[in-house]
Structure 1
Amino acid sequence: MQTPATFADLALAPTLRAGLEALGYTALTPVQAQALPAILAGRDLVAQAPTGSGKTAAFGLGLLQRIDTTIGGTQALVLCPTRELADQVGKQLRKLATGIANLKLSVLCGGIPLAPQLASLAHPPQVVVGTPGRVLELVQKDALDLRGVRALVLDEADRMLDMGFDEPIRALVKRTPKDRQTLLFSATFPDAIRTLATAMLREPVEISVDGGAQPATIETHFFEAEPARRAPQLAALLLQFNPASTVVFCNMRKDTEEVMGSLAHYGFDALALHGDMEQREREEVLVRFSNRSCNVLVASDVAARGLDIDDIGAVVNFELPTDVDTYLHRIGRTGRAGRNGLALSLVAPNERNRAALVEARLLEQGGAPIRFERIAALDGKPRGVPQATMATLRIDAGRTDKLRPGDIVGALTGETGLHKDAIGKIDVYPTRSYVAIARAQADRALERLRAGRIKGRRVRLHRL
């Protein structure tokens, strides 16, 4: 059978064409070309595929194809490791489902109040996207019935197991029909994933998309770290390479705040992202990083799983992770979509054994041996630290207020006289919205918006 090259080559329902057109999808990515024929044929699937490979559209089209909106009950369940990833998956599935009338999709995650989710389940959604813990909690409260599930997706299964979701996943699977279709996606394939696949899937098709290996477009550097001066060395690296946007990975969540504080001291627009933050805090950090109001994000591995931005200029390992797959997954966040990437690693003497494992994997894949470089730590506060190009305004109104991005653009260009080129990314949530404004014009825009109206009404605004 010939491998399809475009979505037009697939036997997709006409209702899915509208979503593909809305997203501008025509050519298939490698994971879509390999996975979709099997998924559409109803086969179980195990896919090794990294973040950013197009896997959401692959499983999304498959499960939406099987939805029957003429009957009630939950027919598809997608489990994700984090709230951020679940939100992103939910948004993309809604776009893919643009042409499907009367489809209800709910995102059910922990970290937000349970009562609104319980109320929303009075009319069961056909599609549920959520984190294992919260979905299981709702099932155990008899608020969610999984007996009608036709398709089950385990997205980023390796991270769900890393986060301790093994038992909740198994408990949920037992609540679904045995003849369901199961799709498992994982960036890495440790033994625990193979055990999970054996227990839950029936004669699955196995595919692998090369993404764990270091892409050729990523330039890598390893630097000798002085443990006591690692933070000023990090600042020196950012000044020397001057990437437009950077994700700095820390192994411990407590380190993210300390490193962020050190970078802020040197004058960088840095924010931290870790698992102890409240949902709104996490959302606002991700919004500000993605809209260029912050140019350095200091993150833990788990918190960064929901980060899906194609043009990250550089990834920095503040310290090397304890396993090679995590290293490869980290650096795979730069150099996407045909752009060149940059990966910088600070390696202390007690981390040389980790570096040796990374080097062995790279050599297996035809790469070069690691050559350690030196970087002098900053001494004092530097001049000319690059600033973020944008600033973010938060508007305390959103989708529930019928606010749309066009309303915000209209208010900014009309009420404030701001040129549309000064307006960046706009994110609209149920009760609040965020808009990026060119940094030099943000205060003026805020002042004039406060004096005026958006969509005929006054709203509260804040500069973040």
Structure 2
Amino acid sequence: ATFALNLLNRLEPKRYRIQTLILCPTRELATQVAEETRKLAKGMHNVKVLTLCGGQPMGPQIGSLEHGAHIVVGTPGRIKDHLRKETLKLNNVDTVVLDEADRMLDMGFLEDVEHIVGHCPAQRQTLLFSATYPDKISSLAKRLLNNPVMVTVESEHSDDHIEQRFIEVQERNKQEVLARILRHTQAATAIVFANMKQDCDDLAQSLNDLGASALALHGDLEQRERDSVLTRFMQGSCCVLVATDVAARGLDVDDVALVVNYDLPRDSEVYVHRIGRTGRAGHSGKAYSIYTAKQRYKLEILEGERQQALHCLVASHN
């Protein structure tokens, strides 16, 4: 709503041209943004929002573009494909939104984003949204934004919303401890984060063998498989989602009771994104992180870099 209400206010529905471009890092997030924008546009007459993402055939997208649209929401790779084929024209765009810009950079989309924005008019409004603001985002903002106004919002993640626990284990006991956490919390919905795609598959299989309903979500899955996994999780037919960071970015599930870091993330920014999957929309949540003795230094890094006053309860299970 932060940017959709603004761009809809600027929109001229009678001008059947692409006036707004919204770039998102993943198809899941792009789909979510497009759906929410359509909801907000219901009170306006004949506003067309078109989604252009990878994992879908080009033909139908080209056909939709030929019929015209007001707002395009898409991923950088597919938007760049359409620009190359000259099936997408951005010369009438007056608003560009870069949503979750930090994740787009993490996924290697920097050159694509700059290439795409280069096809838009110089006279435009550019809105950049990022949950974190590392140096690379600051650098991107300086290149793409003209004399921008920065708006910061305090994080919602606090003791009041998310209870955090860090559990030290031996490497061989990690799967056992994960199962104990799930049994102890009795969470109706849980997301388990692993750093490797193969670990996601292995953990999901292990949890299913123990009687839990678990599914893996990672980048090696075909798009239709990812859609199916997400649908089952959101509808409650699957209780545990074992995911990598890239696959889980943009998940819009209001009531995830538990997040487990089976592997510690590489930095504090990823940690904040992960635990932010719980404690949403006024709900409380739990975030458990499993680590080994060799990884204690990572806890100091996470605690030292974080800009939030988060309470950490440390337990030990060897």
Equivalent positions of 1:150-169 (< 5 A) are: 150-169=94-113
Partner of 2:317: 374
Partner of 1:67: 11
Deviation (angstroms), 1:184 = 0.3
Deviation (angstroms), 1:175 = 0.4
Q: Give the distance between the partners of 1:212 and 1:143, measured in 2 at CA.
A: 41
What 5-or-longer segments of structure 1 have no aligned partner? 1-56, 376-464
Say which SS state the counterpart of residue 186 (structure 1) adopts.
coil
Equivalent position to 1:186, from 116, 130, 134: 130
Deviation (angstroms), 1:225 = 2.0
Deviation (angstroms), 1:66 = 1.3
Say which SS state the counterpart of residue 260 (structure 1) adopts.
helix
Equivalent position to 1:94, from 38, 51, 58: 38
Equivalent positions of 1:53-452 (< 5 A) are: 57-211=1-155, 214-361=158-305, 365-368=308-311, 371-374=314-317
Change (3 A) 1:106 1:253: same
Letter in 2 for 1:126: H
Deviations 1:352-380 (A, max 9, x none): 11111123346x644456523227xxxxx
Larger Rg: 1
Q: Give the distance between the partners of 2:24 and 2:167, measured in 1 at CA.
A: 35
Letter in 1 for 2:314: R
Say which SS state the counterpart of residue 126 (structure 2) adopts.
strand
Letter in 1 for 2:226: R
Q: Give the distance between the partners of 2:75 and 2:159, measured in 1 at CA.
A: 30
Q: Contact conserved, 1:319 with 1:347, CA < 8 A, in 2?
A: yes
Report the RMSD for the aligned CA atoms in angstroms: 1.5
Q: Which moved more, 1:59-68 or 1:350-359?
A: 350-359
Deviation (angstroms), 1:344 = 0.6
Say which SS state the counterpart of residue 125 (structure 1) adopts.
coil
Q: Give the distance between the partners of 1:306 and 1:283, measured in 2 at CA.
A: 13
Q: Contact conserved, 1:245 with 1:312, CA < 8 A, in 2?
A: yes
Say which SS state the counterpart of residue 339 (structure 1) adopts.
coil
Higher relative contact order (CA 8 A, sep 6+): 2
Q: Give the distance between the partners of 2:102 and 2:80, measured in 1 at CA.
A: 19
Deviation (angstroms), 1:337 = 2.0
Change (3 A) 1:138 1:214: same
Q: Contact conserved, 2:264 with 2:290, CA < 8 A, in 1?
A: yes
Q: Give the distance between the partners of 2:38 and 2:157, measured in 1 at CA.
A: 32
Q: Give the distance between the partners of 2:301 and 2:157, measured in 1 at CA.
A: 14
Q: Contact conserved, 2:192 with 2:240, CA < 8 A, in 1?
A: yes
- After TM superposition, the score normalised by the length of structure 2 is 0.96
Q: Give the distance between the partners of 2:201 and 2:66, measured in 1 at CA.
A: 41
Change (3 A) 1:215 1:174: farther
Say which SS state the counterpart of residue 207 (structure 1) adopts.
coil
Matched positions, count: 318
Deviations 1:35-65 (A, max 9, x none): xxxxxxxxxxxxxxxxxxxxxx110011111
Q: Contact conserved, 2:191 with 2:243, CA < 8 A, in 1?
A: yes
Partner of 1:447: none
- After TM superposition, the score normalised by the length of structure 1 is 0.66
Letter in 1 for 2:315: F
Say which SS state the counterpart of residue 272 (structure 1) adopts.
strand
Deviations 1:43-98 (A, max 9, x none): xxxxxxxxxxxxxx110011111111212221000000000000010111111111
Say which SS state the counterpart of residue 32 (structure 2) adopts.
helix
Deviations 1:19-42 (A, max 9, x none): xxxxxxxxxxxxxxxxxxxxxxxx
Letter in 2 for 1:256: C
Q: Give the distance between the partners of 2:35 and 2:309, measured in 1 at CA.
A: 38
Deviations 1:409-443 (A, max 9, x none): xxxxxxxxxxxxxxxxxxxxxxxxxxxxxxxxxxx
